[in-house]
Amino acid sequence: MALLPVLCYPDPRLHKRAKPVVKVDERIKAIVKDMAETMYDAPGVGLAATQVDIHEQIIVIDVSDEQNELMVFINPELVWASEEKKSWREGCLSVPEYYDEVDRPANIRVKAIDLHGKPFEIEADGLLAVCLQHEMDHLQGKVFVEYLSLLKRNRISLKMKKRAKELAEQR
């Protein structure tokens, strides 16, 4: 297992659409293990393959308090979303140290494939629903800050570029 480098906004690779996984094989299982290790190390509650420059439809999530209930979603698809919306304060491993309110459907149903190649469906609300929608956005090339005003997005972009420059200078 290995920690993977996480792309930071406004990296253009974050806007690349992920392709469906054709077959759940050992390569995909290795990617999932590395993604999970990266997510837990960050620490985060979700990670999409796009964020680690792998453009395949893979998501890992663990919203448990103990961080011991890893969920894997391969080729996730939103099949239903409630009309009721809920606002959550979201953060992102690709936009470190920035949080803001985003309105999303309060309840959703997602179908996906598990790590054994078996299809499943899950209904979600609360943090799991938010996390699933957030990570599925990544697979479509969308970062949560795109729900914010242009002014906020520009400010965040400048902050992230400055942060990247400072980190590069420290090396």
The DSSP secondary structure of 91-143, one letter per residue, reads EETTEEEEEEEEEEESEEEEEEE-TTS-EEEEEEEHHHHHHHHHHHHHHTT--
Catalytic residue selected from 56, 77, 83, 135:
135
Peptide bond into 96 cis (omega under 30): no
Q: Give the CA distances from residue 76 to residues 97, 107, 120, 137, 160, in Å, rounded to whole numbers and listed in that order.
A: 27, 16, 10, 11, 29
| Residue 135 annotated as catalytic | yes
Give the span between the Cα atoms of 34 and 17, in whole angstroms: 20
Output the known binding site for Fe cation. Answer: 92, 134, 138
Residue pair 57/74 in contact (Cβ under 8 Å)? The answer is yes
Give the span between the Cα atoms of 104 and 108, in whole angstroms: 10
Residue pair 145/100 in contact (Cβ under 8 Å)? The answer is yes
**Cβ atoms < 10 Å from Cβ of 46:** 26
Catalytically active residues are 135
